[in-house]
Amino acid sequence: MRGFRRKTKPIELDDINIIDNQKTKKAITAAALGNAIEWFDFGVYGYVAYVLGKVFFPDASPSVQMIAALATFSVPFIFRPLGGIFFGRLGDKYGRQKVLAITIIIMSLSTFGIGLIPSFETIGIWAPILLLIVKIAQGFSIGGEYAGAAIFVAEYSPDRKRGFMGSWLDFGSIAGFVLGAGTVSFITYLVGETNFAEWGWRIPFFIALPLGIIGLYLRNALDETPVYQQHSENKVSQKPKKFSFKEVLANNKRSLMVCIGLVICTNVTYYMLLTYLPSYFSHNLGYSESHGVLIIIAVMIGMLFVQPIIGWLSDKFGRRPFIFIGSFALILFAYPAFVLLDSRVTYQIFLGLLILALSLNMFVGVMASTLPALFPTEIRYSALGIAFNFSVVIAGLTPTITATLVETTQNLMIPAYYLMVCGVFGLITAIYLKETANKPLVGGIPMATNEEEAVELLEEYHENLEQKIENIDQKIEELQEKRQKLADQHPDIQ
């Protein structure tokens, strides 16, 4: 019947989710391990790119070999949006937990598969083709991985701790990268550079399989998120809404643009620092492979300690300040950082990397808690999957574009200019971002750690509703005044 409006039940204390702390920890561990596998591969791939170039593209020059190996890293990013769309739809329809179990299987198997591919000398052109196919499968699964993992953690986290809890997701990313890079260095040390180039490079990729099995076990042991369970109950009692991608884009423009800006800024810095710089050190600056690798590993270990601190502070001061700080740091300090990297003095190289790493920490410390809070529950996975992965396509081209520009121009400061432009986009993003710290997820009920906090959150929630009602009443009053002025000019309208 037209004009019928379903009366919404008032939000009371019993409606507030009190989150079990142990379940939250398990959710974070399960989600972070999947992220660790993703970045374990990135860490390994970045540090063995020079070897992969020789194994899969032996007839090319050293410069082309490196660019080709990095391009094989970048091309699968084109398939990530397809994964985001596919798994996003499934995640919104059937739940987050089921989809994350699927993505970790595909991701660990595809990473393991890289280690099985024969060399170009053995099977010819099929070697690089198989590498590309496996990387595409990996890219497709990763398309649903990060968005789903971030949502999983956010929907398991209390409102006042979402920044701290979410920061552990990218703690897994950094830890995975450190583990990948450290594994490469350790195996190279054990077997020697000659044996590593012949067969040792395969071992790190094989390690992804047991890690994936552990991650799958942890994810299967978890229940669906409290937020999605509540959403599912509402779907049973009410007719579920159907959303087209066109509607998602039309109704969430600001949130989508903020998401895209933050993801591009974060991941361009990520891939520049963690994937491109190892090759930049060895190929362009002429450092030994181990020299640059060990310094970057040391800096990344330092990032591990900073990461949860940024998340914790963002619960106190908000997410926006850290995006502003990270953006200004890139604009002001990217160039000096790369001057330090080219100094050939160890402590100055370390200082340059530290500047870039801390800039990156500002973004990754708040990204996992910021992004899920931009969208309502019914479209959260789909919207974030689309926006995140289309943005990562752009960011994922960073190593290839930067390497090509440096080779073409012979200007070693190109990476610094790239990051400075990235910082400008970060500033614009921070300006347009509405603060999400200490607030319920969009359209959701407050989430607390205990009953006392639940009472406080309920009061804040009601106060927020009152403020919104006052704002609407004020707008109605302004519109009525405007209407009256127009009506006064017409003889037949009262």
pLDDT 10s digits, 140-177: 888 888 888 899 889 888 888 899 999 998 888 888 88
What pLDDT, on a 0 to 100 scale, did the predictor assign at position 68? 67
* DSSP structure class, residue 198: I
What pLDDT, on a 0 to 100 scale, did the predictor assign at position 306? 92
Contact criterion met (CB below 8 Å) for 301 and 178: yes
Residue 490 has which token pair?
A: 């017409």
Describe the crossing of helices 398-409 and 62-74 by its angle, rounded to 10 degrees: 150
Provide the phi-psi class of 286: left if phi over 0, else alpha when psi is between -120 and 50, else beta: left
Q: Answer whether residue 1 shows pLDDT above 50.
A: no
d(CA 460, CA 292): 50
d(CA 492, CA 182): 81
Q: Buried b / exposed e across 312-335, counting CB within 10 Å, b at 16+?
A: ebbbeebbbbbbbbbbbbbbebbb
Percent of the chain clearing pLDDT 90 (strictly above)? 20
Residue 121 has which token pair?
A: 């000398």
447 beta partners = 17
Describe the crossing of helices 21-56 and 126-154 by its angle, rounded to 10 degrees: 160
Q: Among all chains, which residue has been given the structure tokens 């643009």? A: 257
d(CA 151, CA 157): 10
What pLDDT, on a 0 to 100 scale, did the predictor assign at position 4? 41
What pLDDT, on a 0 to 100 scale, did the predictor assign at position 239? 55
What pLDDT, on a 0 to 100 scale, did the predictor assign at position 455? 78
When pLDDT is averaged across residues 341-355 and rounded to a whole number, the result is 86
Q: Where in 26-129 does DSSP place strands (E)?
A: none
Q: Which residue has the higher pLDDT, 209 or 11?
A: 209
SS3 state of residue 17: strand
Contact criterion met (CB below 8 Å) for 88 and 144: yes
* Residue 380, amino acid: R
Residue 8's pLDDT band, with cuts at 50, 70 and 90, is: low
Q: Answer whether residue 80 shows pLDDT above 80.
A: yes
What pLDDT, on a 0 to 100 scale, did the predictor assign at position 18? 79
**CA end-to-end span of the chain:** 31
Q: Which residue has the higher pLDDT, 209 or 65?
A: 209
Q: Which residue has the higher pLDDT, 75 or 368?
A: 368
Q: What is the pLDDT of residues 423-443, one digit of tens each?
A: 999 999 999 999 988 888 887
Looking at every residue in the chain, the average pLDDT score rounds to: 83
Q: What is the pLDDT of residues 20-79, one digit of tens each?
A: 778 788 888 888 887 888 778 777 876 777 777 777 777 666 666 666 666 666 677 788
Residue 273 has which token pair?
A: 């620092």
Q: What is the pLDDT of residues 224-273, one digit of tens each?
A: 888 888 777 766 555 555 666 677 777 788 999 999 999 999 989 988 88
Neighbouring CB atoms inside 10 A of 407's CB total: 15
Tell which residue, 200, 77, 52, has the closest CA to residue 128.
52
d(CA 261, CA 427): 9
pTM: 0.82
d(CA 215, CA 36): 10
**What phi and psi values does residue 442 have, to the nearest 5 degrees?**
-55, 125
- Output Rg (C-alpha) for the chain, integer angstroms: 24
Q: Answer whether residue 98 shows pLDDT above 70.
A: yes
Neighbouring CB atoms inside 10 A of 449's CB total: 18
Describe the crossing of helices 253-271 and 320-341 by its angle, rounded to 10 degrees: 30
Residue 461 has which token pair?
A: 């929630």
d(CA 303, CA 364): 10
Least confident of 59-63, 76-80, 307-311, 342-346: 59-63
